[in-house]
Structure 1
Amino acid sequence: MKIAIVTDSTAYLPDRIKDASNLFVIPIPVILDGKIYNEGIDIEADEYYSLLNNSSEFPTTSQPALGEVIELYKGIVAKGFDTIISIHLSAGISGFVNTLFSLTDSIEGVTLYPYDSKITSVPMGHMVEAALDLVKKNASLEEIFAKLDIIRDNTYAYLIVDDLNNLVRGGRLTNGAALIAGLLKIKPILTFEDGKIILFEKIRSTKKAFARAENIIGQRDKEINRPVKLYVIHANNLAVAEEEKEKLQKQYPEAIIEIGHFGPVIGTHLGEKAIGICISAQ
């Protein structure tokens, strides 16, 4: 059995795995002012936020062209792989991973396993990293999926966004939650529930929202009861991310804490300056 790992461009991948010979990345398109950009190929995060701020239209995202995905899978087969584990952003954000299930019997010479990470960005990159490490150790499929399930079932993310309008206009958060936030002038904490972004708690200020998220992370650490990593993820907001990492490190001195960023696709939905605080089983 020769296993390839496929993911999409919303995954924030550690440098040490980016050039792995059995890793393949499907770019997710972003449409900005009528022009299509393939994340990670035509546009990177830093450039994107500059374009976003000067755009005349609200940006949108779309699923990759199915024909291009099929060609990628066929190319992987041509390289001698007979098994593909395809790890993708939450079905609650995009229908792409569900689309892949329709392909499981249509690619000759390979067994395809689509996997819904129920998250995105750094935690999804962590899943990809874990899968690649296990493949290198000749782990069985059962062992790989068991590890992915442990990470997925023990990943919690809390999002503090500057403006809810992007999420509402993109259909990733209900209008009701945004309306309540606007009327009460609150700073909401959002989270993922079954892969969907929902309102977790309403807080009166940004400072209190961060403090609350930091406290929740500590509670989740006790619940997980196994080695964890903490992540601070930002949408073109590195200075705040670094400050938040420093605060978390003081509160949880033994924790491994890493900083990552939201790329163009997730940045489109969360908006610039968003910060995510996340804990995940190792």
Structure 2
Amino acid sequence: MKIAIVVDSTAYLSDEIKEKNDIYTIPLNTIFGDDTYREDIDITPEEFYDKMRAQEELPMTSQPSIGDYILLLEELYKKGYTDVISFHLSSSISGTLQNAVAAGQSVEGITLHAVDSKIACTPLGLLAVYAAQHKDDTPLEELLETLNRFTNKDYLDAYFVVDDLTNLKKGGRLSNAQAFVGQLLKIKPILQFEEGKIVAIQKIRTKKKALSKVEDLVQEAIDKQAGDNIVLTVIHANIEDEAKEFQAKLASKFKDATVLISHFGPVIGTHLGEHAIGVSITSFDVDVTGF
């Protein structure tokens, strides 16, 4: 048995981490008019935010096609892999996992094991890294059982603050009137994944107050975590300096946690908008050297 680890591009893992842990990636797409860009291949996050800022219409996003996934599986089969553990952003917000499953049924000689992370970004990536670090010393069925257990809030969670309501309005998630009132009041929604869906759990008047509330929510999440290897990740949409400041603040407050920094790439950034910022909390034992 030879196991490959695949994760979709919304994990936003660095090339260094993917190479170190022998992780393969399948890209999602962002679409501006007639132009389609594969995430982290055809467009960088900085280029994406510059382009989105200049557009009147919100870009569209799309999952990898079944054909794209079949090509990847055939490549892995030729390299001698017999099994693939494939990690994807929540199936409640994307059809990526469903396309992966369909592709797996179309390629003979290799078995696909799809994992619905019920989330996205760094928690998704850390699940894949954990699998890569344990695939050779843990029986496959035991590893899959463990990974699926890790996809609940006992082991991972996340909170995000949206800087403004423009993308939510453009994406049809709230009315123009709601957006207008929200902008006047400087409302900063705090978002969370619940049952795989992104929901607004609180609306705060300023970003400073919203981030302060996120700190409280992070503390509550840590107190409920089943594992004891706490990793916090500050995730940002093109505001690296602000993210580094928040990272330092969290590191000072949560001294027993490892605090990383990552970013919202084009697909997730399309929906959250530029200047969004969030924190993910994971508590399973994974080596994050190189992040």
Return the offset for 1:89: 1.1
Conservation of the 8 A alpha-carbon contact between 2:64 and 2:99: no
Q: Which amino acid in structure 2 is aligned with residue 55 of structure 1? A: Q
Q: Does 1:49 align with 2:58?
A: no
In 1, the alpha carbon distance for the partners of 2:216 and 2:9 equals 31
Conservation of the 8 A alpha-carbon contact between 2:167 and 2:272: yes
Return the offset for 1:252: 1.1
Q: Which amino acid in structure 1 is aligned with residue 138 of structure 2? A: A
Aligned to 2:241: 239
CA RMSD of aligned residues (A): 2.2
Normalising to structure 1: TM-score of the pair?
A: 0.91
In 1, the alpha carbon distance for the partners of 2:82 and 2:255 equals 44
Q: Does 1:116 align with 2:88?
A: no
Q: For each residue in 1:194-217, what CA deviation from the matched residue of structure 2 results, as whole angstroms up to 9, or x when unmatched?
A: 111001112222111111110111
Aligned to 1:274: 276
Return the offset for 1:101: 2.5
Return the offset for 1:119: 1.1
Q: In structure 1, the residue corresponding to 2:214 is in which secondary structure? A: helix
Aligned to 1:258: 260
Q: In structure 1, the residue corresponding to 2:151 is in which secondary structure? A: helix
How many residue pairs are counted as aligned between the two chains? 280
Aligned to 2:206: 205
Q: In structure 1, the residue corresponding to 2:43 is in which secondary structure? A: coil
Percent sequence identity is 43
In 1, the alpha carbon distance for the partners of 2:16 and 2:177 equals 40
Aligned to 1:26: 26
Return the offset for 1:5: 0.9
Conservation of the 8 A alpha-carbon contact between 2:164 and 2:188: no
Q: Which amino acid in structure 2 is aligned with residue 50 of structure 1? A: D
Q: Which amino acid in structure 1 is aligned with residue 102 of structure 2? A: S
Aligned to 2:288: none
Conservation of the 8 A alpha-carbon contact between 2:61 and 2:267: yes
Conservation of the 8 A alpha-carbon contact between 1:13 and 1:129: no
Conservation of the 8 A alpha-carbon contact between 1:164 and 1:178: no
Return the offset for 1:14: 4.7
Q: For each residue in 1:28-62, what CA deviation from the matched residue of structure 2 results, as whole angstroms up to 9, or x when unmatched?
A: 11112421111111111122111111224321111
User: 1:151-166 maps to which residues of 2 (within 5 A)?
Assistant: 151-153=150-152, 154-166=155-167
Return the offset for 1:239: 1.2
User: 1:186-197 maps to which residues of 2 (within 5 A)?
Assistant: 186-197=187-198
In 2, the alpha carbon distance for the partners of 1:255 and 1:28 equals 31
Aligned to 1:167: 168
Return the offset for 1:84: 0.8
Question: In structure 2, do the counterparts of structure 1 residues 178 and 156 end up closer, same or farther at CA, with 3 Å as the change threshold?
Answer: farther
